[in-house]
Structure 1
């Protein structure tokens, strides 16, 4: 599939959106930016809520593909998650269907499988078809998004790559993150592969670098053409010295979702 020229980036003011705003244009993309928060230095960005169907339809009109990062990225009340992550994602898919946009890259999350026990050393990596076990209302909304993506492919022919993102930061900040970290550069590589791979229908992939301590299977992501170049292990000595190795008796350490399982961070707004 040729690279789409114009891509709508929702959630463009967020942490991951800000990183991708800086990295994706190098792949030849012209980004149309959308966020509920104004973006400094981007006067053409669309400032609107995912509940504003008219603004969303206008944002989608004429783009070749969509990277959907917008929504609540931590735990919140079900009502807030419902409005932002569930109804908002539905609104986006409806706008894409109405405007004939054929490819969406959906930011799912490792928290869709958060209660899955993490593999011990020597265990098989977790496959993408492992049963979903969300750890929060947030994780539940990502499970919904994956099902919505499958439905829109089966019913309407809208293709999606659902990326179960680990943690995308400049460098990992915890021992757990050594297993789920996705470098910004690898994040851009994965999104580019998801935008350009042919015949994806609805494909679920894990989003991380090819870490030495990896917990999940990147085979499906690599089948799209993703070639990760980074590994978190260069940060391991420092983080382990500060925090110690993960304790399998600690529920926070024993599950994929980490502290989302025991004491999830709460969305502040």
Structure 2
């Protein structure tokens, strides 16, 4: 997103716990190294900004303590930093795994599909959406939670032919989230306009999102799913299987 969200008269303040490349010549970025769990650092990072796009956190399943600290508490820290600094617009990276146990046979997944998380990670995204709703309703922030499907340069398996979000479309969606007038609290699906998509784009399009990419151009290179597999049955795919049963692993039984 660093290059795709660059625009005239826009400065991107980029915060990550890891080291980032410094600003290139002519690049309007400010690089900050900090954790989303550090309230003082987040308060400082949000000073003087117009909007926050919160993408930080563990992006795969982790033990409960890590998910709780970084994904759930970290989201609270980000929203609280935005509130304290008068930032009116926050875009939150939610996930398809917030509704991972939704069966594909149930039809197209709507934007406000009731949570059915498939992992601790999925639970953290349900909590993220709930925190976003709270801060929108109680404090008047505009908060958009984007239930991202699979954002990679190209689909990696057959499931991603439905869930793929191209990086270019991801930037288009974020731009729509930043520019839509007074959205309040919204939950939208973050996917491209895939021929095989399972997800509604109604709410995203209502914000002004105009996807241009379709995973079908890669379909010939992607093997089909086993129709009996979890990847074929559930939105969350193999994340619904025993390999990610983190609670059992932590308990040792």
Tell me the TM-score normalized by structure 2.
Answer: 0.91
> Residues of 2 paired with 1:80 and 1:171: CA distance?
29
> Residues of 1 paired with 2:98 and 2:47: CA distance?
30
Q: Which runs of 4+ in 1 moved over 2 A?
A: 26-29, 40-44, 245-249, 263-266
Give runs of aligned pairs for residues 60-209 of structure 1, distance below 5 A: 60-119=46-105, 124-209=107-192
> Residues of 1 paired with 2:227 and 2:9: CA distance?
44
Tell me the TM-score normalized by structure 1.
Answer: 0.85
Contact kept? 2:12, 2:30, Cα under 8 Å: no
Give how far 1:265 is off: 10
SS of alignment partner, residue 222 of structure 2: helix
2:232 is the counterpart of 1:253: yes
Contact kept? 1:111, 1:134, Cα under 8 Å: yes
- Pair 1:21–1:265, CA change in 2 (3 A): farther
2:22 is the counterpart of 1:34: no
- Pair 1:258–1:76, CA change in 2 (3 A): same
Aligned positions, number = 240
In the other structure, the counterpart of 2:34 is 48
| Structure 2 unaligned regions, length at least 5 | 24-28, 247-253
- Pair 1:149–1:27, CA change in 2 (3 A): farther
In the other structure, the counterpart of 2:199 is 216
In the other structure, the counterpart of 1:10 is none
Give how far 1:38 is off: 1.0
Query: Deviation per CA, 1:171-227, whole angstroms, max 9, x where unpaired?
Result: 111110000001111000000000110121100000010000000101110010000
SS of alignment partner, residue 161 of structure 1: strand
